[in-house]
A and B are shown apart, each in its own frame.
Chain A
Amino acid sequence: DAKTTQPPSMDCAEGRAANLPCNHSTISGNEYVYWYRQIHSQGPQYIIHGLKNNETNEMASLIITEDRKSSTLILPHATLRDTAVYYCISSPKGSSNTGKLIFGQGTTLQVKP
Chain B
Amino acid sequence: DAGVTQSPTHLIKTRGQQVTLRCSPISGHKSVSWYQQVLGQGPQFIFQYYEKEERGRGNFPDRFSARQFPNYSSELNVNALLLGDSALYLCASSLGLVSYNEQFFGPGTRLTVL
The chain A residues found within 8 Å of chain B, CB to CB, are 2, 32, 34, 42-46, 49, 85, 87, 89, 91, 93-95, 97-106
Q: Are B101 and A99 in contact (CB under 8 A)?
A: yes
B94 at the interface (CB under 8 A from A): yes
- B45 neighbours in A (Cβ, 8 Å): 100-102
Q: Are A103 and B42 in contact (CB under 8 A)?
A: yes
Extra 12 A-B pairs, beta carbons < 8 Å, given A43-B4, A100-B58, A103-B35:
A42-B107, A43-B108, A44-B43, A45-B105, A49-B102, A93-B101, A95-B97, A95-B98, A98-B48, A101-B33, A105-B41, A105-B42
Known: A98-B48, A99-B55. A43 touches B90 (CB 8 A): yes
A99 to chain B, nearest CB (A): 4
Known: A99-B56, A101-B45, A104-B42. A34 touches B101 (CB 8 A): yes
Whole-angstrom distance between the alpha carbons of A87 and B35 in the complex? 15
Q: Are A101 and B101 in contact (CB under 8 A)?
A: yes
Whole-angstrom distance between the alpha carbons of A94 and B96 in the complex? 9
Q: Are A100 and B92 in contact (CB under 8 A)?
A: no
- A105 neighbours in B (Cβ, 8 Å): 41-42
Q: Are B101 and A97 in contact (CB under 8 A)?
A: yes
Could you name 7 residue pairs across A and B whose Cβ atoms are closer than 8 Å?
A2-B42, A34-B101, A85-B42, A98-B56, A100-B56, A103-B35, A105-B41
- A89 neighbours in B (Cβ, 8 Å): 101
- B105 neighbours in A (Cβ, 8 Å): 43-45
Q: Are B55 and A98 in contact (CB under 8 A)?
A: yes
B44 at the interface (CB under 8 A from A): yes
B106 at the interface (CB under 8 A from A): yes
Q: Are B42 and A46 in contact (CB under 8 A)?
A: no
Whole-angstrom distance between the alpha carbons of A85 and B88 in the complex? 16
B72 at the interface (CB under 8 A from A): no
- A100 neighbours in B (Cβ, 8 Å): 33, 45, 48, 56, 58
Whole-angstrom distance between the alpha carbons of A95 and B96 in the complex? 10
Q: Are B97 and A49 in contact (CB under 8 A)?
A: no
Whole-angstrom distance between the alpha carbons of A56 and B106 in the complex? 25
Known: A99-B31, A99-B56. A46 touches B104 (CB 8 A): yes
